[in-house]
Structure 1
């Protein structure tokens, strides 16, 4: 009978299946939401338990009081000596390093020990009782010894420091030099005392480090000063000895504001400068005397000679008179001749006077020339001496620079040595802004914060619970699992109607059950090229998965379309059809398989739901032997000639041999799966067993699906009951 081609069915189904959108996997967020809904009770219990535990824990916790002292830490520049250039440049990187160092110092073990010593906490039993700590491990029944050993005192001291470090916290204020020192304890007064003492000891430790640093620096500078003093004395001796040896006599020197020698004036350079100036003056006198002695008219002596000038003036007057007479008379005129004779006498007098003047100028020239030559000789002699002194001054300047350098280093170190005893020790870069005050309200525990943390913990545990349960719960939850987990097509799903009688709901064609099976009927119409299969059976993995109910509901839905439908109860081991139809099970399928051929006697006509039915009949001793004959195939062939569709309600698959025998007599199999029922491995094994009999599985129906767990958009509450409202009374 199984002459149906699977390939044809698959082609038709894929082209026309109204549930083809289920070929796409359900979005992850939808799957997560469905998982949360499935485990909502467990999630609520976990979260409620965590919140309750958080509240109870908060109420049982000892209240702690936090006191805060605020200090300002200014950036400091550490300079040991100006000579060595140990200077901390104030850049961003080193500022960050400085403040990080200060924060670490505030949290240091040594500072906690200073506070323990300052407050004498190691011997204060009330301090340990405040933190509910037994420093001696003595218990309640052991008497406390008044005398304690050194090891015990050290242990108490270490424990007190550990308690302080555990309860102190440093809170730098962002983008500022302010730092908050927080200390929390069950006693508000103790919190303020420890916070203030912590600040005091931090300032004291900072001053102690400064003093230790300057003490080391002074010791270092003392050694350096002794070395530099010796070097300065040696360099000065070398300079003096060299100057005496080379006869370098320094008259004056030019120095900078720091005492460094720029230039020196020696005796040789001073003599050379004076002689050179006298030589220049002698050269000028010699040139002037030489010009006068050359006899050129208009020289300096001629111009300043009074007698010569008077003779020339008188000659000019006589020459003028002679010129007037020559206008009227001849040269032989006696008056003219007298004037001519007078002019001649004056000319001789002028010539004699000029000769005497030139003779004096020559004498002065010779005197100036001799003086120039003597001075030049002396200058040349001093030049030789000065050249030798210049060569010697190179080494002299080397000694002088060494003296200047050593003196500068010595003066700088001496000044720093005088300053370092007080520099940085009397001043402090740490100041208290706000001292700690005893707090009025406890800082912990915080009920609201603990509730939030409990909620977060509850959500985390709930998520872990859901994840574990989802990994453990390997069941089918909605129709989308059929395609991806079992490899069969989803034909539809039946909602979980709870206590509602699904058979009673079939009487109402607007009920949710009717709408669900009508949707499956629509899917059946697209399974084959001739519409709804002529024959098919419904089976399941185990009993009570809704197989028989679905078979009866599908028969009723198909019969409502005016088709002739026959429903056969083939579960002869546990028949149920006669109970649902409220009829006797005296005749049925087992009778036919045993040899009865009167079908009219075996079929119940026109049941309450509009379809014909064949019950299972009397329970045979071995149902598998009856099904192994050819009469089942013959029965289905006969009935498909009479009815439009033959529906077989088959027994479950696991543990029985009936399904492989029945599947060969129908066109295909519709597998019924209860949502959240059988594990996937059991369903997969059952489906594999069905396929091993060469039966074709049309698809699957998921029953008892929780409407709020469905991933189908609106959900069943809307999908199957849309418009299903009773009309309001007029």
Structure 2
């Protein structure tokens, strides 16, 4: 027996393969399980929506459309320090206009203009009695004053409650709508609303213009005096410091940016003359240097002419010297001419050097005088520049005061010319009485009722799902219980399953055949040589599953023995319709003749051993070594031994039985025992050091199916049916 347990190589084939049902599929399964409750909730909400819609008073909505142009009032033209963001300013402007359209003051203007607080028809249209509104206690005078104010207050509240302001996106158009049970009243109020809005806008413009004119007059008087004082200070200071301004330049805003004074003009002219003298001195110095080194011969035309004539004479002399003697008259005359030309050249060179030196001395003296004058003017200009700091302060003050004064004067003239006749609000469409009611909207109410019904149904299902802590899906075995799922069985009556096991094309047979496939991967030798089936409580399909597995395993021509191990409440003999005279309890009591205790070859081709007579204390029989000896002997005869064990909770049999087999298969009824109970049962099984191969989920309803439907197969003259 120990060797067989040691042969178990893969006790849990799904140990590292956790199968988690996708969340959307879990939601679909939950909705399918509670589809009837969901349908009832949604239908009830829809019916309630229809009833409420039919009981509601019809309201008629009349809409008038206006255009609000962008118009910003400016009291002064003085710019602020912050940059102008036209986008944000436009948004701010239109948001302000929308708020003004919803203001209580505008509603009060409409009430007073239309005399709504004294019109009984207005209150009757809304089915409101102003006399029933809150009465104040006190003296008769106080109470009568309060009573007079109550209709006005109530009328304002009705207008604000039923008025709608709807800006048209991307435009300056605004729809003003009013709804009431009376279509004519709705059109009247909508038109009166825009009329009073235009009138209130004109009133605000008139008030702001009057205030602006008074403000500007006061500011003009103050700035005029400031401008006079600043100009007087500037003139006095310039006379005192002898700052004589020849010309000045101003920018586009009227501010003085540069000035040309007498001192700056003199310095500029002296500096220009000095630059010219320096240029002349440099030229004269260059000529003097050239003259001292006979380098100016090329630039002196008279000297160049003399040298040219001498060269010509020397050429003639050389020609004559070849033909005649030196004493020949023509030769002597040409020699005399050459001597005279040489003397003239020497005299011209001497005269040229003397003139160049004189010009150089004159240039140096003129440069020195101009340099002295420039230095004097620089000192004078530096003193004036220091004085001009205060002068510029006075000048800027004059420019600022003049600019402010001119700006305010121009604004004052604009206000006087423009007046308050312009208006930036125009009526595009006036309201007309509506022909059909705008509310209640049956389709909208039905959509809201459907949405509310779906919300309630979802909440209902989620609450039930949180409360329901049972296993409904085989995929939950690994995630919630930590055991592998070996398969699942649809919900059939016990008799139907036993009958369908005779047909190998039935749904029950296919389901248990799938479990047999899973069993083949549990150990290195395939299907375990011995295992038991147990459950948390009775009636979870444990005995039926044990019987069906024995039949499926036996169909593969294997020697299979099914033992009814529940000696407290045996059921195998009832399923087969046989007696329970001898069985497991007899062997555990000392009987060794297995031939008498085993029924050979039942209709399903496997042998069985019933529980036998019910003993007074089954736990004492199981606690001995006889159970291990029985399984060891039977392993020599049969390929697989299946024990239909009793439930776990409340009994001590399972820990004793589990020690004699290779492993345990836990049977769980779908939607049956709570998770806590199943976990307690599994802990009790594991406490005996027994190995749990996995679990089988039985009695799965069609709404518990992972795909949301059940299926049946039939062959022959019948057709397959899917539901």
Which TM-score applies when normalising by structure 2? 0.71
Secondary structure class of the residue paired with 1:478: coil
Contact 1:491 1:523 in 2 (8 A): yes
1:163 maps to 2:158:
yes
Give aligned pairs, total.
575
Task: Tell me how far 1:453 sits from its aligned partner.
Answer: 1.8
Q: Secondary structure at the match of 1:491?
A: strand
2:715 aligned with 1:725, yes or no? yes
Give 1:464 deviation, angstroms. Answer: 2.1
User: How much does 1:479 deviate?
Assistant: 1.9
Q: 2:591 aligns with which of 596, 600, 609?
A: 596
Match of residue 64 from structure 2: 69
* Deviation, structure 1 residue 596: 3.2
- 1:476-497 deviation digits (Å, cap 9, x = unpaired): 1222212221111221111223
Q: Secondary structure at the match of 2:10?
A: helix
- Report the structure number with the largest CA radius of gyration: 1
SS at match of 1:170: strand
1:530 counterpart residue number: 525
Could you report, residue by residue, the CA deviation over 1:291-333 in whole angstroms, capped at 9, with x for unpaired residues? xxxxxxxxxxxxxxxxxxxxxxxxxxxxxxxxxxxxxxxxxxx
Q: CA RMSD in A?
A: 4.2
Contact 1:475 1:680 in 2 (8 A): yes
- Equivalent position to 1:624, from 593, 596, 619: 619
Asked whether 1:451 is paired with 2:456, we answer: no
Check conservation: 1:114, 1:201, Cα contact below 8 A. yes
**1:440 & 1:496 partners in 2: Cα distance?**
61
Residue of structure 1 in register with 2:10 after alignment: 12
C-alpha distance 704-130 of structure 1, shift in aligned 2 (>3 A): same
Distance 1:203 1:86 in 2: 33
Shift of 1:592: 2.7
Partner of 1:137: 132
Alpha carbons of 1:567 and 1:426: their partners in 2 closer, same or farther (altered >3 Å)? Answer: same
Whether the aligned pair in 2 keeps the contact of 1:79 and 1:88 (CA below 8 Å) is: no
Q: Residue 575 of structure 1: SS of its match in structure 2?
A: coil
For the residue of structure 2 that corresponds to 1:202, the secondary structure is helix
Secondary structure class of the residue paired with 2:660: coil
Go from structure 1 to structure 2 and tell me whether the alpha carbon gap of 1:47 and 1:402 turns closer, same or farther (over 3 Å shift): closer
Which residue in the other structure is 2:641 paired with? Answer: 646
Distance 1:98 1:233 in 2: 40
- Contact 2:494–2:544 (CA<8 Å) still a contact in 1? no
CA-to-aligned-CA distance 1:211-267 (integer Å, 9 cap, x gap): 1111111222333455567789999999999xxxxxxxxxxxxxxxxxx9xxxxxxx
Hey, what's the Cα distance between the residues in 2 that align with 1:578 and 1:445? 70
Of 92, 97, 122, 2:117 maps to: 122
Counterparts of 1:548-697 in structure 2, within 5 Å, are 548-697=543-692
Distance 2:686 2:82 in 1: 89
Cα deviation digits, residues 131-165 of structure 1 (max 9, x gap): 344444369xxxxx999622233343233222222
CA distance in 2, matches of 1:655, 1:661: 14
Gapped regions of structure 1 (runs ≥ 5): 140-144, 242-259, 261-390
Pick from 162, 177, 184 the counterpart of residue 179 of structure 2: 184
Deviation at 1:471?
A: 1.6
Name the CA distance, whole Å, in 2 between partners of 1:418 and 1:211: 16
Residue matched to 2:197: 202
User: Where do 1:501-520 residues align within 5 Å?
Assistant: 501-520=496-515
Alpha-carbon shift at residue 552 of structure 1 (Å): 0.6
Residues 562 and 644, structure 2, Cα contact 8 Å, conserved in 1: yes
Which of 214, 220, 224 is the equivalent residue of 2:209? 214
Which digits, 9 at most, give the CA deviation of each residue in 1:678-725, with x for residues without a partner? 1111101000001101111111111112356433x79763xx84xx53
Task: Determine if contact 1:47/1:459 at 8 Å carries over to the other structure.
Answer: yes
CA distance in 1, matches of 2:683, 2:104: 72
How far residue 12 of structure 1 moved from its aligned partner, in angstroms, is 3.0
The residue that corresponds to 2:536 in the other structure is 541
> Deviation at 1:402?
11
Aligned equivalents of 2:587, 2:623: Cα separation in 1: 13
- 2:445 partner SS: helix
Give the superposition deviation at 1:122.
2.6
Could you list the per-position Cα deviations for residues 419-455 of structure 1 after superposition, in whole angstroms to 9, with x for gaps in the alignment?
5356251121111111111111111121111222222
Give me the TM-score of the superposition, normalised by structure 1.
Answer: 0.70
Counterpart position of 2:295: none
- Secondary structure at 1:643's aligned position in 2? coil
Q: Give the conservation status (yes or no) of the 8 Å contact 2:19–2:478.
A: no
Would the alpha carbon gap of residues 97 and 614 (structure 1) be closer, same or farther in structure 2, given more than 3 Å must change? same
Structure 2 spans left out of the alignment, 5+ residues: 135-139, 237-254, 256-383
Q: In the alignment, is the contact (CA less than 8 A) between 2:11 and 2:523 conserved in 1?
A: yes
**CA contact under 8 A between 2:59 and 2:182: conserved in structure 1?**
yes
Question: Would you say the 8 A contact 1:670–1:701 is kept in 2?
Answer: yes
Which residue in 2 is equivalent to 1:486?
481
Residues 623, 411 of structure 1: CA spacing in aligned structure 2 closer, same or farther, 3 A cutoff?
Answer: closer
Residue of structure 1 in register with 2:169 after alignment: 174
- Give 1:385's aligned residue: none
Contact 2:471 2:672 in 1 (8 A): yes
2:11–2:693 Cα contact (<8 Å) kept? no
Q: 1:566 to 1:407 in 2, by over 3 A?
A: closer
- 8 Å CA contact 1:210–1:424 kept in 2: the answer is no
**1: CA distance, partners of 2:524 / 2:228:** 124
Q: Which residue of structure 2 lines up, in the alignment, with residue 47 of structure 1?
A: 42
The answer to whether the 8 A contact 2:32-2:708 is kept is no
Q: Give the whole-Å Cα distance in 2 for the aligned partners of 1:607 and 1:200.
A: 100
